[in-house]
Chains A and B, each alone.
Chain A
Amino acid sequence: MTAPVHVAPRPRLGRVLQQQGALIALVVLVVFGALRYGEQFATGFNIQSLLADDAKYALVALGMTFVIMTGGIDLSVGSVAALGGVVAAQLSGAGLLPAMLAALGVGAAVGLANGVLVARYGLAPFLVTLATLLVARGLALQLADARSAVADPASGFQDFGRWSLLGIPVSFWIVLVLFAAGALALHATDFGRHVLATGGNEDAARLMGLPVDRTKVAVYVLSGTLAGAAGAFLGAQTGSVDAAAGQGWELTAIAAVVVGGTLLTGGVGSVFGTLVGVLLLQLIFNLIVFENGRGVIEISSYWESVIRGAFLLAVVLLQVRLTRRRAAPT
């Protein structure tokens, strides 16, 4: 910096906690797990299954991150994943690629509907995506005849779920690449900056001449497409997709996004924070499984929800405190 700085930068503890709190917690829990449960916990299989499981939540949460950064919300992702998964499984006979593309297309279509209704007609994102949640779920049930859609075992569809590279499932490599692309898009493209400006102050963004409506449509399409992909991943991993799959994914995704440091009111967010949030929430579940495996105490899996919920509350409290401080007159 060459210009004299009149306002000193203030890296506050609160800010660090909000931005890096999830990462710190993740590292602490991994170390804790490795020390307490030893080799078992650290073995490749545990990590592999953990990561494979995380991939689909991560995809949904990535799309959700962008939606929330514009100040919106997408409740339809779980249903869209189910719909995408059912479609992919039913088309799996045609091969991996057509099945995947079909799932992506279905997701994009629902996302487009969400985006147009929100941006063009000014409807509340909560209501729009609640409606499409119901629609997509209904279509999935209809298509699968209220049962599971089973993938064609002869096709290469299910191989996708078994591929791994350097001991890490391919699905998770894809997730990593997509998150890197998402982070780059957020930081270094007009689209990313428009997302943050729209969520930060929509009126201002409009008056600045930014394409607010187009940006909103884009994030919902992105979210829908990624949800469709998550459904296809599920199908490839398990060989079949229950029409009732994906229930509650939207809430898991929202929780991961918020834990990762993205403000629910929009305008501030972190793509990698979301990834950390996903890993963290899944790790809590994993740790409970291991704790039960020791047989010393029995923690019901219901406690997992309680712990996740408490975590979420702590993060939201922290966010509110930070936001209030910002709103205070300077």
Chain B
Amino acid sequence: MADAPLLQMRGIDKSFAGVPALTGVDLSVPAGEVRALIGQNGAGKSTLIKVLTGVHRRDAGQVELDGRPVDFGSVHEAQRAGVATIYQEVNLVPYRSLAENVCIGRAPRRFGLLDWRAINAEARERLAALDVHVDVTRPLHEFPIATQQMTAIARALSFDARLVVMDEPTSSLAEHEVGVLLDVVRRLRDSGVAVVFVSHRLDELYAVCDTITVLRDGRCVADAPLAELSKYEVVSAMLGRALTESERRGRHVGAARAAGAPTVLEARDLHRPPALNGSSVSVRRGEVVGLAGLLGSGRSETARALFGADPVTGGEMRLAGEPVAFSSPRDAIRAGLGFNSEDRKADGIVPDLSVRENLTLALLPRLTRRGVVDRGRQQEIVDRFVARLGIRMASPDQPVRELSGGNQQKVLLARWLCTDPRLLILDEPTRGIDVGAKQEIAELVDELADDGLSVLLVSSELEELINGCDRVVVLRDGETVRELAGADISEDAIVQAMAEGSAGAGEHGDA
């Protein structure tokens, strides 16, 4: 190991449109070391990587490579300086051959023309060094993701990279492929390359990383040898929770009331590799069940599978005791499910339509008589839900885009509620809305459950889970590892389960 770190970033600031994304972040990696970089969505990991690799320009701070200050204006410059990046999504050209993807940009030439024989030979050699033995003249898209990822790595290494940045390289790989990749990381380290490794899978980090940097809200909140931090401490640092038991306000009636109620939806052992590896969840009538887990733990994937949005490869689902298999969201809706997606802008509201139209969109087929919308009934329904949910607006004809985030969310809720669902799946319903509106939505969910609606609440906010749920199901690596009910729901227990799985925990609750 060198005395001065190969990469030294100090006091990096970066803001977008006045909103700080990074504040005084430090990151240093010596040659021959693997550093883990971890943080929740929006913590600044991607921004930091993009500053390092020349995609973004930093606002303040220094970056030194090998003791020399550098300021990359483009990916190309960073590449030439020996910084290579492997992205989460394979960023190669699908229709071109493996060989071309490895070599393009610095391909060997003969008489001024590309020398395909040499290109193919070089690519074959470089892939063979990564233990990939395939026909390099076939187009990239014909190969499995793992091979594509290896091709990206071969390309990165072909630039004689001294620093390799891997941004969630394992998120789309199957288990045995992850093993191969981790071996490659170890080999890189042993050959003196510095590696920055981003992943949400703690086991991988512990398997391969020497040190760790934890980011939260654009700041560096932990920087230590990984051996000195437990998984529990890593997750706590990431989520920014003091390790004291917060007072649990909880649902007033809670598990006791729901305990006797019939089960509405039950899913057992859902599989959809690599995202889902045995996730199970059940919701009773009038119950609010929380779905917790770190990024990439399969929370949203479980919700989508339940709603029929993604097919599963294994597991069973029962609706009111009857086995069901939804092949599309349409089936799920017909069976009385509702799904409020995580991204309300992309999947939910139609910004330029009025509140009235947005609210009754899902109901329109039932509101029309011979193709004409029954305005009287529509108005009646809109009035009822606007009052019930406390939607604040100038008039029902106001375009939805003019409403605040919280009120938009309420319109979406109303859209599902007026279809009279049995079970409503809410994926991050309070993301991006202000504190007051959050509280209102939480209270609304509570009331709806009291009226008999079953709710599955996907959330990355511990507070929301602890205060709003009768039960919390914790996922880890796509698997249900813990189920907490009533008084057992605590920050401590959830964080513990997120970090370490069911180890040390009791039986899965069956309340």
Q: Which residues of A contact B (CB under 8 A)?
A: 1-7, 9-10, 184, 187-190, 193-194, 196-197, 200-201, 203-210, 263, 267-268, 326, 330
Contact = CB atoms under 8 A, between A and B. Distances in A.
A97 B107 CA distance: 38
B93 A201 contact: yes
B248 interface: no
A196 B144 CA distance: 22
B114 A204 contact: no
B113 interface: yes
B134 A196 contact: no
B76 A209 contact: yes
Nearest to B125: A3
B113 A3 contact: no
B134 A197 contact: no
Nearest to A267: B95
Interface centre among B74, B113, B143 (most CB of A within 10 A): B113
Contacts of B107: 190, 193
A267 B93 contact: yes
Given A200-B94, A201-B91, A6 B113 contact: no
Given A196-B93, A203-B91, A208-B105, 13 more contacts: A2-B124, A5-B133, A5-B135, A6-B134, A7-B134, A10-B142, A188-B113, A193-B104, A201-B93, A207-B87, A267-B94, A330-B142, A330-B143
B133 A6 contact: yes
Nearest to B127: A3
Nearest to A4: B133
A33 B124 CA distance: 48
A200 B92 CA distance: 9
A197 B75 contact: no
Nearest to B141: A326
Given A193-B104, A330-B143, A207 B93 contact: no
A291 B9 CA distance: 76
Interface residues of B, number: 31
Contact of B95 (A1, A5, A9, A268): A268
A330 B92 CA distance: 16
B62 to A, nearest CB: 23
Contacts of A268: 95
Contacts of A209: 74-76, 79, 105
B105 A210 contact: yes
B470 interface: no
Q: What 10 A-B pairs come out closest when comparing CB atoms?
A: A209-B76, A200-B93, A188-B113, A204-B91, A3-B133, A5-B135, A267-B95, A188-B114, A197-B93, A201-B93
27 contacts: A1-B135, A2-B124, A3-B133, A4-B133, A5-B134, A6-B134, A7-B134, A7-B135, A7-B147, A9-B138, A196-B95, A197-B104, A200-B93, A201-B93, A201-B94, A203-B91, A204-B92, A206-B75, A207-B75, A208-B104, A209-B75, A209-B76, A209-B79, A263-B95, A326-B94, A326-B141, A330-B141
Contacts of A206: 75
B142 A193 contact: no
B257 interface: no
B161 to A, nearest CB: 12
Nearest to A326: B141
A313 to B, nearest CB: 23
Contacts of B408: none
